[in-house]
Amino acid sequence: MKVLVTGCAGFIGSRVSALLSATGHEIVGIDNLSDAYDVRMKQFRVDNLLAHNSVEWVNSDITNNESVRALMSNIKPDAVINLAARAGVRQSIDNPWVYYDTNVIGTLNLLEACKEFGVNRFLLASTSSVYGNGSMPFSEDAHIEDLLSPYAASKKSAEDLCKLYWRLFDFDTTIFRFFTVYGPSGRPDMSMFRFVKWIFEEQSVQLNGDGSQRRDFTFVDDIARGVVGSLDRRPGFEVINLGSDRPVKINEVINEIEMVIGKTAIIEQHPFPQTDMIATWANISRARELLDWEPEISLEEGIKATVDWYKENRDFAKNIRL
């Protein structure tokens, strides 16, 4: 199958692209290497992706409608996996416009191009942030109204567009709500990368709140398996949580990293942001039933793999801007 993967230089996008290539699919990946975080990390992923996989990379921006149309006309893919996004809860407070440009307008451009060029399989990356502080474990059928940030609102808007295009144009659409994805070469604006770097380099760990907040940490390779495993489905419209089903306190994560690295964290505590969720916890019964999917990498294994990657790439990773 020929697949267009947007956001192929991203943390999840690069892993999904590599797994698709390894399983025999023809991949065209697009990414504009935005400065949402240190571009050197994105270039690192692209270089590794192209060096070890049969992937064509196009430097392009999904917010540019004409570029999207030209690319779709040229490629004529069988499916689109939209992993391009502007992510990050707190940053969306400062600049909500760029979040709506990428997450909403970018998704609309892709859906319109799919309609124009006859592509009717569409997969979208969404987020656990859409659940807000609702009742847990979060179920895909939950009524969503307690959005806490422009980021969450932009992703929910993208979901709504996908559902509309399914109804109007009969797209086969899968929306994934990812839960706190982490792993090697992870996003430097996320807690796991930061904790590992701060503890390894003996710098102060900037902790928001008292560390009792819980997150459903999910290893990136498990996420990639779930996405790739759903590609051949023709579901009509579906929303699927991908998470570990094991919420863990942030303090416990820090303790595990300390143990793996062999150093003690220097904690600098800050107030808990009102845009942050108190906890996340995925109900993954739908993923189990529809995809025969289970998270395979434990938190302990995943943290060790993340720390090992940092050690092996320390000369590069220690200079990445947080």
List, by residue number, the catalytic residues.
151
HSE toward the beta carbon, residue 116, CA cutoff 13 A: 15
Own/partner pairs for 118-121, CB < 8 Å, 24+ apart?
119/72, 119/76, 119/77, 119/78, 119/79, 119/80, 120/169, 120/170, 120/171, 120/172, 121/78, 121/79, 121/80, 121/171, 121/172, 121/231, 121/234
Answer whether 204's CB lies under 8 Å from 264's CB.
Answer: no
**Which amino acid, residue 273?**
P
Give the C-alpha separation, 78 to 126, whole Å. Answer: 21
